[in-house]
């Protein structure tokens, strides 16, 4: 329980550095970068389908597009690509604050909106395709075709009605002729009147039948059309999960499809953001251990500057010393002083090499280098910087591991020990480093560790109290390591 509580107080990069090796960090970062690229491509395609379809207009049939539609399609692709790239870069940037929150909201809103829209469009097309291919819908279309064909052909009742009307017209004309001249028609008035009544009755009866048939056909055709229209988009053709959501929430199919799309796209966007944050955390963890995103050691500006600088030639120092001894008048010394082995001040300052009596921290180099100041010029030497960095790194590790206390005396003793052990490797005489210079180096190391947040000012300061103490974060890590040991 204590271990978990301690881990929760650490930042994610610190936690990764503590629990993963360098190879694991690099390997996991590369895997995450691959999956981040896959997620970005998927997000681009999911948004591009809807945006391109909206910008181009019409159906997604590029072979029939006009030049204007193609230009609008490329415009939609460009907009989607830029926003998706911004989304991927933002997720892996590790940015914090209100501006990052607003930017995240904007890009996530665009992604969710376009991807949900595309998902719903696809579901709508699927339902429509299933509905149009269903046997019931095909039967409804067949019924419409049959009714339309029957409406264009004559029924027996219509033929009988036409024949009855023709007979009625014939007997009506005979009636008119009979009334005009009795001898013009051989039929009697009674015969003509009887036929007129008979055919008029047939015409009325057949007219009613034909009218009823037409009404029935119209109603049947309207019903078939309404049925086909309803079956053209059948809500029962949604996926089973969407129907379940609709029944559970008591909403229509379109709302159930929206909820279903939100679940899928929301999960994808969260995973996209998680992978981006995973990449950002591993990059930050590699920076904490002095590595770049590819795993190569990071070269500081001081190291780069040192490699481009020609090392100082100290052979002339010995030459000046010899000339001062054999020709004391050249340096303004008396023969007695020369015979006693004295050297001019400038010769001493140069001959003391890397860390002579006037060695001090170069303010331009911060805590990463030392310069030897002479009355004539400032000597910046790569060996000095490297030697100081060795001292600084080893003292830092000892303090963080609890081997020495972050005070002047223990640090000065550690500096003395390091100089004795490693000075010969760099061709430096440890005897040239006096105690004041070692104390000055110790003070600069403590100040550098304070700037690095490894140390912090002692809040219980006062006479006899140390100036710095180990920072809370590293103190907790030290206590945990000692407990586990």
Q: Model confidence over 44-65: pLDDT tens digits?
A: 998 888 888 888 877 778 888 8
Beta bridge partners of 457: 468
User: Is the separation of the CB atoms in 75 and 83 below 8 Å?
Assistant: no
Confidence of residue 478 (pLDDT cuts 50, 70, 90): confident
CB distance 372 to 358 below 8 Å: yes
Please check whether residues 33 and 117 belong to one and the same domain: yes
Determine the 3-state secondary structure of 238 from DSSP. coil
Average pLDDT, the chain: 75
Q: Answer yes or no: do 58 and 196 share one domain.
A: no
What does the block give as tokens for 299?
């070269």
Q: What is the model's pTM?
A: 0.46
Residue 454 falls within a domain, yes or no?
Answer: yes
Mean pLDDT calculated for residue range 79-93: 89
Q: How far is CA 426 from CA 46, 328, 384, 431, in A?
A: 61, 31, 9, 14
Residue 162's contacts (CB-CB under 8 Å, 6 or more residues apart) are none
Count of residues making up the chain: 485
Give the pLDDT confidence score for residue 33 in this predicted structure: 93
Q: Using CA atoms of 166, 167, 168, 169 in order, give the dihedral in degrees to the nearest 10.
A: 50
- Other C-beta atoms lying within 10 Å of the C-beta of residue 181: 8
Is residue 456 classed exposed, middle or buried when 0-12, 13-18 and 19+ CB atoms within 10 A define those classes? middle
Structural domain range at position 10: 2-134+240-288
Over 50: is that where the pLDDT of 88 sits?
yes
Average pLDDT over residues 453-478: 81
Asked if 324 and 335 touch (Cβ cutoff 8 Å), the reply is: no
* The most confident of 22-36, 97-111, 140-154, 360-374, by mean pLDDT: 22-36
Statement: residue 460 has pLDDT above 50: yes
Give pLDDT, residue 243: 82
**343 falls in which pLDDT band (50, 70, 90)?**
very low
Same-domain status, 328 and 389: yes
Question: What is the model's pLDDT at position 337?
Answer: 44
Lowest mean pLDDT among 34-48, 72-86, 122-136, 392-406: 122-136
CB under 8 Å to 218, separation ≥6 — which residues? none
Same domain, 332 and 381: yes
Which of 451, 401, 452, 391 has the alpha carbon at shortest distance from 421? 391
Band the pLDDT of 479: cuts 50, 70, 90.
confident
- Phi and psi torsions of 405, nearest 5°: -85, 150
User: Which has the higher per-residue pLDDT, 324 or 397?
Assistant: 397
Please state at what angle helix 435-451 crosses helix 408-422, rounded to 10 degrees. Answer: 110
Q: Does residue 384 contact residue 369 with C-beta atoms inside 8 Å?
A: yes
Please report whether residue 293 resides in a domain: no
CA distance linking residue 41 with residue 26, whole number of Å: 23
Tokens of 38: 């896959």
Residues 127, 19: one domain?
yes
- Average pLDDT on 99-119 reads 85
Number of domains in the chain: 3
Q: Give the contacts of 91 (CB within 8 A, at least 6 positions apart).
A: 36, 272, 273, 275, 276, 277, 279, 280
In this structure, is residue 225 part of a structural domain?
yes
Do 328 and 368 fall within a single domain?
A: yes
Q: Would you say residue 347 has pLDDT above 50?
A: no
CA torsion through residues 367, 372, 374, 377, sign: negative
**pLDDT value of position 2:** 42
For position 10, what pLDDT does the model report? 52
pLDDT bin (cut points 50, 70, 90) of residue 36 is very high
Pick the last residue of a domain from 233, 252, 267: 233
Looking at residues 347-365, what average pLDDT do you find? 37
pLDDT in tens, 231-246: 777 777 777 888 888 8
Q: What is residue 40's predicted lDDT score, i.e. its pLDDT?
A: 93
- Those residues whose C-beta lies under 8 Å from the C-beta of residue 35, and which sit 6 or more positions away, are 275
- pLDDT at site 152: 67
425 and 363 within one domain: yes
227, 251: one domain: no
Going by C-alpha positions, the residue among 10, 4, 2, 1 that lies closest to residue 473 is: 10
pLDDT of residue 302: 44
Segment 431-458, tens digit of pLDDT = 777 888 888 888 889 888 988 888 888 8
Give the C-alpha separation, 456 to 450, whole Å: 6
**3-state secondary structure labels for all residues of 392-420:** HHHHHHHHHCCCCCCCHHHHHHHHHHHHH
Interval 13-18 mean pLDDT: 85
Return the minimum-mean-pLDDT range out of 201-215, 263-277, 322-336, 453-467.
Answer: 322-336
Same domain, 209 and 352: no
**Is beta strand 378-380 parallel, antiparallel or unpaired with respect to 370-373?**
antiparallel
Sign of CA dihedral 479, 480, 483, 485: negative
pLDDT of res. 485: 63
Q: Is the dihedral of CA 451, 457, 462, 467 positive or negative?
A: negative
> Based on the domain organization, do 209 and 121 belong to the same domain?
no
- Is residue 31 pLDDT above 90, yes or no? yes
* 123 within domain boundaries: yes
% of the chain at pLDDT higher than 90: 8
In a domain, residue 139? The reply is no
Please give the pLDDT value at position 309. Answer: 41
pLDDT of residue 35: 95
Question: What's the confidence (pLDDT) of residue 141?
Answer: 75
> Is residue 295 one of the residues assigned to a domain?
no
The answer on pLDDT for 113 being more than 90 is: no
Give CA–CA dist 53/45, Å, rounded: 12
Position 368 scores a pLDDT of 36
Instruction: Please check whether residues 213 and 257 belong to one and the same domain.
Output: no
CB 398 within 8 A of CB 414: yes
In a domain, 18, yes or no: yes
pLDDT tens for residues 144-166? 777 776 666 677 877 788 888 88
Q: How many Cβ atoms sit within 10 Å of the Cβ of residue 30? A: 14
Structure confidence by residue, pLDDT tens digits, 177-230? 878 777 777 778 788 888 888 888 888 888 888 888 778 777 777 777 777 777
Question: Is 183 a member of any domain?
Answer: yes
Hey, what are 159's tokens? 């033929």
What is the rounded average pLDDT of the residues 116-124? 82
Q: What's the whole-number mean pLDDT along residues 71-98? A: 88
Place of tokens 């050249």: 330
- Other beta carbons within 10 Å of 286: 23
Domain-ending residue, one of 233, 260, 278: 233
Domain-ending residue, one of 191, 214, 233: 233
324: confidence class by pLDDT, cuts 50, 70, 90: low
Residues 66 and 169 in one domain: no
DSSP codes, 453-467: TSEEE-TT-STTS-S
């Amino acid at each position: 329980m204590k271990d978990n509580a301690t881990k929760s107080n650490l930042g994610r990069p610190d936690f990764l550095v503590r629990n993963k090796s360098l190879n694991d960090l690099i390997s996991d970062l590369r895997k995450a970068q691959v999956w981040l690229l896959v997620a970005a491509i998927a997000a681009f395609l999911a948004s591009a389908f809807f945006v391109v379809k909206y910008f181009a207009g019409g159906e997604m049939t590029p072979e029939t597009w006009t030049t204007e539609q193609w230009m609008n399609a490329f415009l939609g692709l460009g907009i989607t690509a830029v926003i998706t790239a911004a989304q991927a870069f933002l997720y892996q940037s590790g940015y914090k604050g209100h501006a990052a929150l607003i930017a995240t909201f904007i890009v996530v809103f665009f992604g969710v909106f376009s991807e949900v829209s595309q998902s719903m469009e696809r579901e709508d097309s699927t339902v429509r395709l299933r509905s149009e291919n269903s046997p019931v819908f095909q039967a409804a279309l067949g019924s419409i075709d049959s009714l339309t064909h029957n409406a264009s052909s004559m029924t027996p009742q219509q033929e009988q009605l036409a024949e009855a009307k023709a007979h009625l017209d014939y007997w009506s004309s005979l009636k008119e002729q009979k009334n005009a001249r009795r001898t013009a028609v051989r039929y009697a008035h009674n015969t003509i009147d009887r036929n007129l009544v008979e055919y008029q009755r047939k015409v009325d009866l057949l007219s009613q039948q034909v009218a009823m048939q037409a009404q029935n056909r119209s109603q049947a055709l309207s019903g078939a059309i309404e049925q086909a229209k309803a079956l053209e988009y059948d809500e029962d053709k949604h996926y089973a999960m969407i129907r379940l959501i609709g029944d559970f929430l008591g909403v229509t199919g379109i709302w159930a499809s929206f909820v279903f799309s939100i679940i899928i796209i929301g999960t994808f966007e969260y995973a996209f953001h998680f992978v981006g944050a995973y990449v950002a955390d591993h990059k930050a963890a590699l920076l904490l251990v002095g590595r770049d995103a590819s795993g190569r050691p990071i070269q500081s500006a001081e190291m780069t500057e040192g490699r481009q600088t020609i090392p100082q030639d100290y052979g002339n120092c010995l030459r000046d010393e010899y000339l001062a001894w054999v020709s004391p008048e050249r340096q303004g010394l008396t023969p007695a002083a020369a015979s006693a082995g004295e050297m001019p001040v400038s010769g001493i300052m140069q001959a003391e090499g890397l860390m002579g009596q006037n060695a001090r921290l170069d303010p331009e180099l911060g805590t990463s280098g030392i310069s030897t100041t002479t009355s004539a010029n400032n000597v910046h030497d790569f060996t000095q910087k490297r030697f100081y960095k060795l001292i600084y790194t080893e003292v830092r590790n000892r303090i963080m591991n609890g081997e020495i206390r972050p005070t002047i005396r223990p640090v000065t003793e550690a500096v003395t020990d390091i100089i004795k052990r490693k000075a010969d490797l760099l061709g430096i005489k440890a005897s040239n480093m006096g105690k004041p210079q070692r104390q000055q180096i110790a003070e600069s190391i403590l100040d550098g560790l304070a700037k690095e947040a490894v140390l912090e000012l002692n809040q219980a300061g006062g006479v006899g109290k140390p100036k710095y103490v180990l920072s809370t974060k590293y103190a907790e890590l030290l206590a945990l390591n000692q407990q586990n040991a």
